[in-house]
Amino acid sequence: MRCVRCRARPEVYLRAHNAAFCRACYIPWFQRQVERTLTSGRMCTRDDQVLVAVSGGKDSLALWDALVTLGYRTSGLHVAQGIGGYSATSREKVERFARDRGLPLLVHDLADEGLAIPEVASTTRRAPCSACGTLKRYAFDRVAHVHGFAILATGHNLDDEAARLLGNLLRWQTTHLARQRPVLDPRHPTQVRKIRPLVLVSEYETAAYAFLRGIDYVVEECPYAEGATQLLYKEALDRIEAGSPGTKLAFVREFFRSAQPLFAASEPADGAPPRSCTRCGMPAFDELCAHCRLLRVLAPAGGPSAA
Ligand code: Q46
Ligand code: ZN
C-alpha cells in the first residue's frame, strides 16, 4: 500500500478509512478532520477565544497543537489533581508544551485548595474518579467563567465517545443520550459552550498525530484508571473494530446524525435548566451544586472555600 495522497512510502495505516499516509500527508489529513468537525458542528470560529482543557495526555495536547496550527486563538487550562507522581509529570508536560510554543496556560491546582483527589476520595468515601469528575468539571466551568472564556474544548476522541455511547445504550440512559453531543451550549450564565473537536478521530489516529508532530506527552495512565467500566466497553469495541474496521466511526457518527436528535426531542429543552448554587453561584440542580455538596461532606462546618 502507498500513501493515498502522494504515493510515497506510508507511515500510518488507517483500516477504518482503508487508507495509508506518509508523514507529510498524514498531519494535514488529521488537521482537516478536526477542522471539518469544528465547522460542521459550528463549534467555534477563528475570532473566538477557546480555552483548551489539557491533561498532559496525547489527546488534549494533540488537540491544542491542531487548533493552534489551524489558526484558532487558544489558551490552555490544566487542572492538577494532586495524584502523586502522575499529576507532577502531567503538569510538567503541559507546562513545557506551552512554554516551548509560547502559548498562554492557566494552571488550577486542586491540592492548593486542599482538594487533592486521593484525600478527597478517602475522606468522602467516594470513588476517586467520581470525586475527580466533579472537581474537574467544576474547575473547567469556574476558571472559564472567571477568565471570560465562552468556549471550552476537550480532547475526548472517537474511542471515548463510542465507549460512552455504548455505556449509555446498555443502560438506556435516555437523559444522557439526549445530552451526548459534540457541542453543548450553556444553560446557565456561568456556563461555557463545551466542544469536542476530536470526536471523529480515533485514539490511534490521535496518537499517530502526536508522535509525528513530536509532542511529548504523559504516557503513564492515572493510577485510578484501571478497572474503570469505560475500559471494559473500550475493549469490547476494540474487538468489534478489529473484525469490522470502521464500526466505531459509523456507530458514533450515525448516532450524532440520526439517533441523538430523537433522544434530544424526547427530553424537551434538555430538562429543567440548572438553578444557581446558593454557596458559589455556579449551576446547581439542588440548593448546592455538586462541588459544594462535596465540600460540605469534607468540612461540614465551613472548611475549604467554594472558590
Ligand atoms: S484522572 Fe481522574 Fe481520570 Fe484519574 S481519577 Fe479517574 S477521572 S482516571 S480521566
Ligand atoms: Zn456551589
Residue 266: pLDDT band with limits 50, 70, 90: confident
Q: Ligand 2: distance of its center to the CA of 252 in Å?
A: 33
163-198 per-position pLDDT tens digit? 999 999 999 999 999 999 999 999 999 999 999 999
Residue 152 Cα to ligand 2 middle (Å): 20
- Domains contained in the chain, CATH given: 27-213 (3.40.50.620), 276-307 (no CATH)
> From the CB of 133, is ligand 1 less than 6 Å away?
yes
Measured between alpha carbons, how far is residue 245 from residues 55, 146, 164, 234, 236 in Å? 29, 44, 19, 14, 13
Banded model confidence at residue 244, pLDDT cuts 50, 70, 90: very high
**What residues sit around ligand 2, an ion, with C-beta below 5 angstroms?**
277, 279-280, 282, 289, 292
pLDDT at 57 over 60: yes
Q: Which of 220, 238, 240, 205 is nearest to 92 (CA)?
A: 220
For residue 267, pLDDT beyond 90: no
**Can you tell me which residue has the cell 445504550?**
169
Task: List, in sequence order, every residue forming a beta bridge with 78; answer none if it has no partner.
Answer: 107
Per DSSP, 293 falls in state H
For 71-98, b/e burial (b = at least 16 CB within 10 A) is ebebbbbbbbbbbeebbeebbebbbebb
State yes or no: pLDDT of 302 exceeds 60: no
| Percent of the chain with pLDDT strictly greater than 90 | 89
Pocket test for ligand 1, best of 54, 79, 122, 224 (most atoms within 8 A of CB): 224
Average pLDDT over residues 251-277: 87
Strand partners, 36: none
The ligand 1 atom at the shortest distance from the C-alpha of residue 223 is 4
The residue whose CA is least distant from atom 8 of ligand 1 is: 225
Confidence class of residue 299 from pLDDT cuts 50, 70 and 90? confident
- For residue 307, the model assigns a pLDDT of 46
What spacing in Å lies between the alpha carbon of 17 and ligand 1's midpoint? 31
For ligand 2, the distance from its centroid to the CA atom of residue 305, given in whole angstroms, is: 10
Is the minimum distance from the CB of 132 to ligand 1 under 6 angstroms?
yes
What whole-number distance in Å separates Cα of residue 297 and Cα of residue 120? 10
Mean pLDDT of 130-142: 95
Ligand 1 and 117: CB distance under 6 A: yes
Residue nearest to atom 7 of ligand 1 (CA): 129
> What is the rounded CA–CA span in Å between residue 16 and residue 237?
13
Q: pLDDT (tens digit, 9 = 90+) per residue, 148-163? A: 999 999 999 999 999 9
What pTM value is reported for the model?
A: 0.94
Using 50, 70 and 90 to split pLDDT, how confident is the model at 228? confident
- What is the pLDDT averaged over residues 103-126? 96
Task: Please give the Cα distance from 60 to 5 (Å, whole number).
Answer: 27
Q: Which of 32-41, 185-194, 276-285, 292-301 shows the lowest per-residue confidence on average (mean pLDDT)?
A: 292-301
Q: Which pLDDT belongs to residue 268?
A: 62
